[in-house]
Amino acid sequence: MGKPYGDHSMQLSERTNAEGSGMSPILANIYLNELDTHLEEYKANIKIGDSQKRKQNRSYTCFGGRISRLQKANEKVWNQLSKEDKVQRAKVVHRLQTDKLRMPTYPFRDTTYKNLQYVRYADDCAPRKRVHATGTVA
């Protein structure tokens, strides 16, 4: 029937693979390989534009310039400011940085760029290579 495993017993079957066994990730990889192939072909067909040449949202860029100019102006007079003025100016810069983070980096409906990111996680048994900071592979 089954072999005892801790306080539980495992039921063996001739037709199926036990869930959680060492074969599960391998079988998932075999099954999902077809999906991976299909999605890679689909991705190649829909890709438009280059992510490195994408234009940023104009408001986002303007905020970045505004923050940079304000920081440079603050640096010039920072040692001459009182503690309260320093705190006030730091709050203004922080508020602008927070507002910038809430803005979309790229235009919402960018017709010059289109891409698909697909990630699946079922490769527990795949061989892994680890590259150390020294450049050696383990």
Per residue in 66-92, pLDDT tens?
999 999 999 999 999 999 999 999 999
Tell me what pLDDT residue 124 has: 53
Note the pLDDT of residue 55.
Answer: 86
- 102-125 per-residue burial string, b: 16 or more CB within 10 A, e: under 16: eeeeebeeeeeeeeeeeeeebeee
Give pLDDT, residue 114.
Answer: 87
pLDDT for residue 60: 92
Most confident of 83-87, 105-109, 123-127: 83-87
Measured CA to CA in angstroms, residue 12 lies from 3, 6, 49, 120 at distances of 9, 16, 53, 29
In sequence order, which residues have a C-beta less than 8 Å from that of residue 96 and are 6 or more positions away?
Answer: 63, 66, 67, 70
pLDDT at 116 over 60: yes
What ranges do the domains of the chain cover? 22-53+113-125, 55-109
pLDDT of residue 70: 93
At 48, give phi and psi (nearest 5°).
-130, 130
Give the torsion sign (CA, 68, 71, 73, 75).
negative
Mean pLDDT, range 24-35, rounded to an integer: 80
Lowest pLDDT segment from 58-62, 92-96, 128-132: 128-132
Structure tokens at 10: 């495992």
Q: How confident is the model at residue 96 (pLDDT cuts 50, 70, 90)?
A: very high
pLDDT at 6: 56
| Mean local confidence (pLDDT), 90-116 | 90
Res 28: pLDDT:
77
